[in-house]
A and B are shown apart, each in its own frame.
Chain A
Amino acid sequence: MELTSGGGRTDRELAAALAERDQSALAEVYDRYGTLAYSVALRILGDQGKAEDVVQEAFLKVWNGAVRFDESRGSLRTWLTTVVRNRSIDLLRGRSMHERRELALKPEVPSIQSGPDEQAMGAMERAAVQEALADLPQEQREAVQLAYFGGFTQAEIAGLTGVPLSTVKGRMRLALEKLGAYLRGRGLVDV
């Protein structure tokens, strides 16, 4: 899905401009994905200050690494959110397993504040992902939430949930297959 925003440059064009050190492109990427990046970091860490630090690091990593960006490996948005998620999980690892579990499984609450420039496409994608997650059996949903938002390995999830590792692997595989099929069916997410 090639994204544009309000007549702005496509993600591909922005990535190329970033590689040429075009600072207006960085501003445009931030305006497009800053809310998403911050929301993901805050969702994982539950700490506004740390979430800000992670987002700053992530954008500067994209800024400095844009010349190496390879679109065949994923979109600019996916790259950014992956950097945000990985760095957030790094910071999370210093916390107790209990706290990580609580953070990972905390229920999504209705949006307190939506970005004023939030795109309708973003809202549709969010609704689709939330619906897809809600449709999963609880044990599968928890497995993917613990992995994505808590950074737990499958072995750790097995320990946390008291089921064999093979069961966790099966739950993860089924959950991701269902999520992928659901989202592809909606045609809203690059999966």
Chain B
Amino acid sequence: MSEENELDSPAFDALALGVDPVTPPPGLRERILAAAAQGGEVVPLRAPQPRRGWPRLPFAAVAASVVVALAAGLLAGSAIGRNSTPPAPPQVVHFSLQGHGSLAGVSATVTDIKSDGIALVSFTGLPAPPDGKVYELWLITPSNQADASGVFLPDSNGQRVLVIERPLSGFKVMAVTVETGPDGVQSPTQQPQVYGTIA
């Protein structure tokens, strides 16, 4: 009997049933069902790259406006919160990304499962990028540092679900650019065409 045939035996498969049970973390069920609900086709993103600068002014202005808005929100929150107990932070937060310019028809919903340090990004309306190009996802800090967080292509329906396996805390904006494939680039070479404020 060949090795392949032996390892194809039901007795070999049955060894799984002898493993002592360990209850999985409660958040795992939610993660799986959320990923399935958002299309079920999950593309794990590559490991984060070292932070690189994002020097271009227009996007820097976008990020700066986000910082200003956040600062205003914080001030307002501070004023409101002086005489009250702040609510516990939510474990699951949703926010959206919107396309602009030639990608105005693109949108994405983000489900940030803070308790698990993982986020699901579900894109719709993505056109196929030009030959040799890919979409690249970036996480931007308040100081406009851009972390390369993965490259992806849409399916034939213009959809894609991504999993970001890292906490979004410390980032203020999520953005997408079109970059050279197949591996993308270390720092963005163009203005983001899809972006949104991280909630």
- A residues with a Cβ closer than 8 A to B are 23, 26-27, 30-31, 34-40, 42-43, 48, 51-53, 55-57, 59-60, 63-64, 74, 78, 81-82, 84-85, 108-116, 118, 122, 125-126, 128-130, 132-133, 144-145, 147-149, 153-154, 169, 172-173, 176-177, 179-180, 183, 189-191
Contact = CB atoms under 8 A, between A and B. Distances in A.
Contact of A64 (B19, B25, B32, B40): B40
Nearest to A110: B20
Nearest to B13: A78
Interface string B13-25: 1111111111111
Contact of B42 (A39, A60, A125): A60
Q: Which of B18, B25, B31, B32 has the most CB of A within 10 A?
A: B18
A36 B15 CA distance: 11
B28 interface: yes
Contacts of A180: 9-11
A179 B21 contact: no
Contacts, number: 152
Given A26-B33, A27-B33, A60-B36, A144 B20 contact: no
Contacts of A81: 13, 16-17
Contact of A191 (B3, B6, B14, B29): B14
A59 B34 CA distance: 12
Given A126-B21, A130-B18, 12 more contacts: A26-B32, A39-B19, A39-B20, A59-B36, A125-B17, A126-B20, A133-B15, A133-B18, A176-B6, A176-B9, A180-B11, A191-B14
A126 B28 contact: no
Given A48-B25, A190-B10, A36 B17 contact: yes
Q: Sorted from nearest, which 7 A-B pairs have the closest CB atoms?
A: A129-B18, A38-B24, A180-B11, A191-B10, A81-B16, A179-B11, A111-B20
15 contacts: A39-B22, A55-B32, A56-B31, A56-B35, A59-B32, A60-B35, A60-B42, A64-B40, A122-B17, A128-B18, A153-B3, A179-B12, A179-B15, A180-B10, A180-B11
A42 B16 CA distance: 11
User: Chain A's interface: helix, strand, loop or mixed, by majority?
Assistant: helix
A50 B37 CA distance: 22
A43 B19 contact: yes
A115 B29 CA distance: 14
B79 interface: no
**Central interface residue in A26, A122, A145, by most chain B CB within 10 Å:** A26
Tell me what chain B mostly uses at the interface: helix, strand, loop, or mixed: helix
A126 B16 CA distance: 9
Contacts of B57: none
Nearest to A80: B16
B61 interface: no
A128 B37 CA distance: 37
A34 B14 contact: no
Contacts of B25: 48, 52
B37 A36 contact: no
Given A26-B36, A60-B42, A191 B23 contact: no
Contacts of A125: 17-18
Residue among B13, B29, B35, B37 with most chain A CB within 10 A: B13
**Which of A39, A128, A147 has the most chain B CB within a 10 Å cutoff?**
A39
